[in-house]
């Protein structure tokens, strides 16, 4: 399935929105403003921000993989992987809070986006089976 066709799938659109907000929040909370080099940092905050970015980027990729796969096992692996990434992102938000991020409303915004994504995700997941 081409990227063009994926853009019509609500869960894919929500995944891209999740990526965008994750990038904005990561940029805001990190000490290192070079997002491409966050993985090099020893700062726990930078590591968590990088993990949020990485996981949010992997979600639309796994959706695309599941959509294009004819193999039910591959689709189930993608679904499982997405569940893990969603849980991870929520955990990183909690970690950032504990690390002293004062602007909790930004983290709550990301949590709200995850909640919205999950609604679309559940519908999509049922459609794959």
pLDDT at residue number 41? 77
Q: What is the dihedral of CA 83, 86, 88, 92, to 10 degrees?
A: -170
CATH at 91: 1.20.1440.60
Q: Contact, 15 vs 60, CB < 8 A? A: yes
**What's the structural domain count of the chain?**
1
Q: Structural domain of residue 9, as residue ranges? A: 3-128
Dump the DSSP string for 2-13.
-HHHHTTSHHHH
- Per-residue pLDDT of the chain in tens (129 residues, 90 and over written 9): 555 588 789 999 999 999 999 999 988 888 766 777 777 777 888 889 989 999 999 999 999 999 999 999 999 999 999 999 999 999 999 999 999 998 899 999 999 999 999 999 999 999 987
pLDDT at residue number 32? 67
Q: Contact, 102 vs 20, CB < 8 A? A: no
């Amino acid at each position: 399935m081409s990227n063009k066709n994926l853009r019509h799938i609500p869960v894919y659109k929500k995944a891209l929105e999740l990526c965008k907000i994750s990038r904005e929040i990561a940029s805001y909370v990190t000490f290192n403003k070079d997002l491409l080099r966050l993985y090099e940092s020893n700062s726990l905050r930078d590591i968590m921000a990088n993990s949020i970015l990485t996981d949010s980027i992997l979600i639309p990729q796994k959706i695309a993989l599941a959509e294009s796969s004819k193999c039910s096992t591959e689709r189930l692996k993608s679904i499982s992987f997405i569940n893990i990434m969603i849980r991870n992102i929520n955990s990183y938000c909690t970690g950032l809070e504990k690390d002293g991020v004062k602007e909790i409303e930004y983290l709550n915004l990301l949590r709200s986006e995850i909640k919205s994504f999950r609604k679309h995700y559940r519908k999509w997941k049922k459609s794959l089976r």
